[in-house]
Amino acid sequence: MRPPTAVSAEPVTGFKQCRQFFPGELPRVPELQARQSRDLCYDAFAVLHSGRTKTPIFAVEKLTREQLLDAKDEERTNRFFPDARLPSAERATLEDYKGSGFDRGHMAPAADMPTAQAMAQSFSLANMVPQAPENNRKTWAGLEGATRAYVKRAKGPVYVFTGPVYPKAGAQVIGKGRVWVPAQLYKLVYDAGSNRAWAQWVENANDAQAGKPITYRDLVARTGIEFLPGIDPGE
């Protein structure tokens, strides 16, 4: 059975310089125009960015054991910056996060980055969401580590989509730029070698705990995004 196609979801376009981060067709996303979406390519990941929320719709990586071994000796830079490729009205700033009580939470993790340049790029605010601090540093960091451990055991490339989910109405915002605060976060793992996929779904709260993984089809139903069109992954 093929995964359900999200109602009124539109095919993403672009990413011409970094299609290698996607396992096949580009995803389909509902309300793509309303989200003011823009595609951003980086050395080791890609971001579909929303100018409406001023956060990623998703970040995507193609991870291998070799890349993660290269990443182990890269020094974390911690130099966050607004991405100048985005119009000023569509991007978050350092001031938006200052004093907000939220961390600048990576979607494509810094610890996955195999070179100094890729590490520096991962601190783009276009790769960040406002994240509850204890969540970011403990629960979410644990999920990122578990994902890396899986990739190191996998026989081939593993594709990882990470992103935020917002309430249908009344999202909290921070800063003068009104950056949206996610209600939940997800991380979808697709092992192309075994054609298996699963996702983690976590509340964006300090006391949130990682539960059992959900299925790919559950994630599509919850987000409306068809991440793997044309692919029918097992669980």
Q: Are 190 and 158 in contact (CB under 8 A)?
A: yes
Instruction: Tell me the mean pLDDT in the region 171-195.
Output: 97
CA torsion sign, 63 to 67 to 69 to 75?
negative
Summarised one tens digit per residue, pLDDT across range 66-97 is 999 999 888 898 999 999 999 999 999 999 99
Q: Are 115 and 70 in contact (CB under 8 A)?
A: yes
| % pLDDT > 70, the chain | 97
- Tell whether the model's pLDDT for residue 194 goes beyond 60: yes
Question: Residue 219: enclosing H or E segment and its boundaries?
Answer: helix 216-223
DSSP 81: B
What's the pLDDT at 4?
A: 45
What's the pLDDT at 181?
A: 98
What's the pLDDT at 2?
A: 44
More confident residue, 169 or 125: 125
Q: Is residue 231 part of a domain?
A: no
| Average pLDDT value for the chain | 94
What's the pLDDT at 73?
A: 86
Instruction: Tell me the mean pLDDT in the region 189-196.
Output: 96
Q: Is residue 40 part of a domain?
A: yes
pTM over 0.75: yes
What's the pLDDT at 119?
A: 96
Q: Are 220 and 22 in contact (CB under 8 A)?
A: no
Provide the pLDDT confidence category of residue 200 given band limits of 50, 70 and 90.
very high
Tokens 């960040």 locate to 128
- Tell whether the model's pLDDT for residue 136 goes beyond 50: yes
Domain that holds residue 192: 9-223
Contacts of 45 (CB under 8 A, 6+ apart): 21, 59, 60, 61, 108, 112, 118, 122, 127
Q: Is residue 132 part of a domain?
A: yes
Q: Is residue 4 part of a domain?
A: no
- Tell whether the model's pLDDT for residue 221 goes beyond 90: yes
Question: Residue 59, CB half-sphere, CA atoms under 13 Å: how many?
Answer: 28
- Let me know if 37 is exposed, middle or buried by CB neighbors in 10 A (0-12, 13-18, 19+): buried
Q: Is residue 232 part of a domain?
A: no
What's the pLDDT at 8?
A: 73
Identify the bridge partners of residue 58 per DSSP, sorted by sequence position: 48
**Residue 12 CA: distances (Å) to CA of 20, 30, 169, 220:** 15, 10, 24, 15
- Tell whether the model's pLDDT for residue 30 goes beyond 50: yes
Q: Is residue 230 part of a domain?
A: no
Q: Please report, for the domain that includes residue 192, its CATH number.
A: 3.40.570.10
- 126 vs 192: CA distance, rounded Å: 27
> Measuring CA to CA, which residue among 193, 191, 199, 192 is closest to residue 217?
199
Instruction: Tell me the mean pLDDT in the region 125-136.
Output: 98
What's the pLDDT at 5?
A: 45
Q: How many domains are there within the chain?
A: 1
The residues that are catalytic are 106
Q: Is residue 97 part of a domain?
A: yes
Q: Is residue 126 part of a domain?
A: yes
